[in-house]
Amino acid sequence: MKKRLNILLILGAVLMLILPGCRELKWKDHFKRANQYFMQKDFKKAAIEYEKALKYNPDLLPAHFFLATSYQSLYRQALDNESFRKRAEKSVIALGLKKGLDREFVEFLAKLDTEDKLRAAYYLLKAEWYEPLRGKDISTDSIYKTDTRIIGKKLSPDELVDYFNQKFDEMLPKLKAEFEEYKKKMEEEAQKAAEEEKKAAKGKKAKKVKKVKKEKKAEQAQEKAEEAQKEEAPPEVKREDVGFALKYIENRLRILGAIKHYTYYMNHVKDEKEKKKAIQALAEIYDRIGDFKNAEKYYLMFFGEKPTNPQYYYILAEFYNKYGKYDKAEEYYKKRIELDPTDPDGYLYLANFYSNQVGKLPKESKKEIFDKAIALMNKSIAAHEKRLELIPEPKVENGVKIAEVPLEKLPEGIEFPPELSDKIEYDAQAKVLRFKGTMSDAERDQLMKLSDDPAWQKAVKLLYLSSNKEKAYYYMAVVCWAKSYNIRRVMSLKDRVATLKKGLKALDRALELNPDYAEAHVYKNLIYREFAKAYPAKKKYYLNLAKKEMEIYKKIMEKKAAKKKALESLGS
């Protein structure tokens, strides 16, 4: 007996040494596989593997971050709507009643307002999904393949029905306890409301009290009718409705999963830059799902009390504008201008904000608002003209364009991305920032993200415009068109025509610099259309000019498409 006990102890000690190693191998294997799927943008498979890696190593921070990103990428706003929610709710109620559960509890479950309720409903619906497939070969079915990856083993349809029913039953005790708490809370609220109603009724006239009693009788009759309806047999659940309900619930679980794992990452990561990534992601998610309170909380947390980047003020202004918080929006549009009065975009954004507010303000405020918008548009155009004077002409060396802008010093901690190392450099001696070639929008955005330092932000913008000077003229023309289009009702004909001519001149200069600049032809078309409105007698003439510009645009785009196709065929 003693010998046997010693052998068991030795085996136990050996297992204690081996098991951590096995767990490490498992999480590493799943994490490696997840990263491969993530790089291939197969976020569904990546999410499954990250979940498995976290099962063996719950503290693996990169897995939390990339799992959250995978869920965020899989979320579809189009599925998160009232129609899908109602279908899911009806299906859950019908299946819960079919399972013999209490109606009140089933209706509580069908609210689908917590992760637990969504998860339980998901198991209930999955069991129903596989029910008609009992005894069938479904090995090639895509849904079956995904479920097999999640579960980690192959099960027959019969086994899947049992598996999901068991999962649902395991969640019932916790949900029933939550339901009891919910009922208790509802009873307390009802009692409180009844007491308040009783107090309010004391000082009322008898006629009003009689009316309230009559209304109560009608409510009671309605409740009885609803109760009678509830006692009827549960409705049939169509397979199509189960499919829609599953899509809705999977989608909701993904976005809640993204919130959960970004929050974990934010609370545990020590690097401040990494923490900010999670905060920004949470702000964007809450904004996307329409949760104003949480979105505001995380946006303000991300931007800090006094941001130095003008773009942050614009994002906040747009955010408040979207939710109808117009005073706040105006405040942040103005702060953006205060931070950089030389930037023409700040004036344009505030002008557009004012012109869009006209329909929401009293009649006596309209003229004042339009006057503000016109003044701001004029400031934007003037700032564009000033900036055009400041944009340095790029040099050309061995057929390569080189843009240079002054920069006193590089912000601390800046490291140029490896993929741009042969394009961008900082000459500390000459105090100049250089870029070789034509900077793309993506490269500009990538460089802007390296630092919030205002001097760096200005230098990158100027560098971008120096290597794309035609765009500086194009942006100015866009403002000229916007002024005519948005504020034409209160502009004088003289002012409107002068503005449009200025825009046309800017576009012609842009096309001198880049004859294949297709977007410039689109805006020449739009400006000619504004001329047609300004001069009704010459409408046909200007519309013909507009048509010609669109024909040129189409030819350029066809030429670009043919060139791309030729290059792709050479590559293959």
Q: What is the spatial distance between Cα 129 and Cα 139, in angstroms, rounded to a whole number? A: 15
pLDDT of residue 19: 43
Nearest to 417 by CA among 387, 382, 448, 372: 448
Q: Looking at residue 5, what is its pLDDT?
A: 39
Predicted pLDDT of residue 203: 54
Q: What is the CA radius of gyration of the chain?
A: 32
CA 176 centroid distance within chain: 35
What local confidence, expressed as pLDDT, does residue 568 receive?
79
Q: Which of 410, 438, 434 is nearest to 421 (CA)?
A: 434
Helical ranges in 80-156 per DSSP H: 82-98, 103-109, 115-130, 142-151
pLDDT of residue 1: 46
pLDDT digits (tens, 9 = 90+) for 215-238: 665 566 566 555 545 555 566 788
What are the angstrom distances between the C-alpha of 158 and each of 128, 150, 163, 216, 282? Answer: 11, 17, 9, 51, 40
| Closest to 113 in 3D by CA, of 248, 237, 244 | 248
Token pair 């000033």 is at which residue?
Answer: 386
Q: What is the edge-to-edge ordering of all strands in the sheet holding 400-406?
A: 395-397, 400-406, 432-436, 424-427
Q: What is the pLDDT of residue 23?
A: 64
User: According to the model, what pLDDT value does residue 68 have?
Assistant: 95
Given this model, what pLDDT does residue 25 score? 79
Helix (H) or strand (E) holding 498: helix 493-513
The model's pTM is: 0.77
pLDDT confidence of residue 452: 85
What's residue 9's pLDDT?
41
Beta strands 432-436 and 424-427: pairing type?
A: antiparallel
Which residue is listed with tokens 């395991």? 170
φ/ψ of residue 473, rounded to 5: -70, -40
Region of 398 (left: φ > 0; alpha: ψ -120 to 50; beta: rest) is: left
The CA distance from 513 to 322, in Å, is 38
Per-10-residue mean pLDDT of the chain, 572 residues long, equals 46 44 78 94 93 93 95 92 90 92 93 93 92 87 84 87 93 94 88 77 54 58 55 72 92 95 96 93 94 95 84 92 92 91 90 80 69 88 90 88 92 89 92 93 92 90 92 93 82 90 95 94 96 94 96 95 84 58
Q: Alpha-carbon distance 529 to 541, whole Å?
A: 10
Domains assigned to the chain: 306-390 (1.25.40.10), 395-467 (no CATH), 474-571 (no CATH)
DSSP class of residue 406 equals: E
**What is the structure's pLDDT at 217?**
57
Measure Cα distances from 240 to 84, 95, 144, 182 in Å: 12, 14, 17, 32
How many whole angstroms separate alpha carbon 68 and alpha carbon 256? 9
Q: So what's the pLDDT on residue 15?
A: 38
CA neighbor of 99 nearest in space, from 229, 237, 240: 237
Per-residue model confidence (pLDDT) at position 491: 80
